[in-house]
């Protein structure tokens, strides 16, 4: 299924914020779950870089 880039980027922004909040709260399992949900979507390069950094930070 194809999604418009604007929609996937907005969804990525929301999930990036959720993942950062999970990490701040110490809930790395939920952060990993949220990252797993958004990971396979095609997003812009800057958001992919942010997700990759979060993935590294979570030890994945």
pTM for the full model?
0.90
CA–CA distance, 6 with 21 (Å, rounded to integer): 23
CA–CA distance, 13 with 19 (Å, rounded to integer): 10
Average model confidence (pLDDT) for the chain?
94
Closest CA to 30 of 52, 47, 54: 54
**Residue spans of the chain under pLDDT 70:** 1-2
């Amino acid at each position: 299924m194809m999604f418009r880039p604007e929609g996937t980027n907005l969804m990525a922004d929301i999930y990036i914020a959720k993942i950062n909040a999970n990490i701040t709260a110490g809930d790395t399992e939920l952060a990993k779950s949220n990252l797993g949900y958004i990971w396979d979507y095609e997003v812009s390069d800057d958001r992919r870089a942010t997700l990759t950094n979060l993935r590294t930070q979570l030890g994945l």
